């Protein structure tokens, strides 16, 4: 199994070799307690909202293809098994 660099949560179901940067589509980080951003998945182009604490914590899964988006700005697709 290959490590995912600084990513803390590394379940082996994600493909570290195929990481791509996710796309920031705006968001609001000024509201206290509601710091969320709009993300576009680089693999399936789905757009969804993620809380900052979520993405810098365990990461945020794409609701469509299941790719994991993490705080380093990278997204990792699920392993094809
Ligand atoms: Zn996706």
Q: pLDDT truncated to tens, each residue of the chain (81 aa)?
A: 455 555 555 557 899 999 999 999 987 666 666 688 999 999 999 999 999 889 999 999 999 999 999 999 999 999 976
* Dihedral-angle region of residue 44 (phi above 0 means left; psi in -120 to 50 means alpha; beta otherwise): alpha
pLDDT of residue 69: 97
pTM above 0.85, yes or no: no
Tell me, in angstroms, the distance from the centre of ligand 1 to residue 31's CA.
27
Tell me, in angstroms, the distance from the centre of ligand 1 to residue 30's CA.
26
pLDDT of residue 27: 77
Tell me, in angstroms, the distance from the centre of ligand 1 to residue 66's CA.
6
DSSP code of 60? E
For residues 73 and 81, the answer to whether their CB atoms sit within 8 Å is no
pLDDT of residue 80: 79
């Amino acid at each position: 199994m290959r490590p995912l660099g600084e990513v803390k949560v590394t379940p082996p179901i994600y493909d570290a070799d195929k990481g791509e940067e996710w796309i920031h589509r705006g968001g609001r980080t000024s509201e206290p307690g509601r710091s969320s951003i709009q993300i576009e998945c680089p693999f399936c182009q789905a757009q969804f909202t993620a809380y900052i604490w979520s993405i810098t914590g365990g990461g945020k899964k794409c609701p469509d293809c299941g790719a994991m988006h993490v705080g380093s700005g990278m997204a990792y697709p699920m392993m094809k098994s």
